[in-house]
Amino acid sequence: MGAFIEAIDLRKTYRVGKIDVAALRGVSFSVEKGEFVTVVGPSGSGKSTLFYLLGGLTRADSGKVVMDGDDFATLSDAERTKMRKRKIGFVFQKFNLLPTLDARSNITIAQEISGNGGRDPEFFLRICELLGLTKRLNHRPSELSGGEQQRVALARALINKPAVVLADEPTGNLDTENSNIVLKMLRQSNQELGQTVLMITHNPEAAKYGDRIIHMRDGQVVKPEEDPQWAVH
């Protein structure tokens, strides 16, 4: 297998008042197709900035992201948006559900937005059964627990069978039981559907669900022993 995702010397600086803050300082790594990789590091290490660059949600100052042969730097904003819809499923710490829609519509709206064509009712039911949502599909977000809302958000990310799932602290607002459900589902989608998963987390136990762990500190990829927060655990 070759690299499916490549981060090549990524650099990103933000202007905060009169100060330049380097969020990423030359980050490079690759992820193979079908891998489940977790990214860990303390707050301010650049994890979230990396997530936004890998998802094509923002542009690097220099360096590049290549996903399935597409170099983000050469794509227009419209082309990047099209690629995100076609290839990437996003899971965030905040559930980002539409409050006026029930769980079913919050999931299927992803199919409408993507323009991927016909729906797959069997796959929809399979995802909902695996996530324990079949009896909650007619409920709006305000009628769901936090764990149920995150499972709806995960179903929405998976429903179009994206080649890549990017998850940013997907268990950050969940208790242990719901965290395990979400993590097991991510692992199952990786193994059964062959999806490449890249998950950002501050939780060492969650990080262990992946095949491999990338450690970040001060905007750079470091060795595990150079990550003091990890060493504590």
Q: What is the mean pLDDT of residues 3-18?
A: 91
Q: Is the pLDDT of residue 110 over 50?
A: yes
Q: Is the pLDDT of residue 113 over 80?
A: no
Task: List beta partners, residue 91.
Answer: 167
Report yes or no: 131 and 155 within 8 Å, Cβ to Cβ. Answer: yes
Report yes or no: 63 and 10 within 8 Å, Cβ to Cβ. Answer: yes
Return the pLDDT at 30: 94
Interval 180-190: pLDDT, tens? 888 998 998 88
CA pseudo-torsion sign 189, 195, 199, 205: positive
Return the pLDDT at 230: 53
Q: What is the mean pLDDT of residues 1-25?
A: 89
pLDDT band at 2 (very low <50, low <70, confident <90, very high): low
pLDDT band at 228 (very low <50, low <70, confident <90, very high): low
3-state secondary structure (DSSP) of residue 130: helix
- Residue 181, amino acid: I
CA distance 154 to 178: 12
**What CATH class is the domain 3-232?**
alpha beta
Q: Torsion angle of alpha carbons 17, 202, 56, 71, nearest 10°? A: 110
Interval 41-56: pLDDT, tens? 888 899 999 999 999 9
Q: What is the reported pTM?
A: 0.88
Return the pLDDT at 233: 41
SS (H, E, C) 151-194: HHHHHHHHCCCCCEEEEECCCCCCCHHHHHHHHHHHHHHHHHHC
CA distance 35 to 186: 12
Task: List beta partners, residue 166.
Answer: 90, 198
Return the pLDDT at 77: 87
CA distance 109 to 104: 9
Interval 74-99: pLDDT, tens? 888 888 888 888 889 999 888 889 99
Report yes or no: 123 and 159 within 8 Å, Cβ to Cβ. Answer: yes
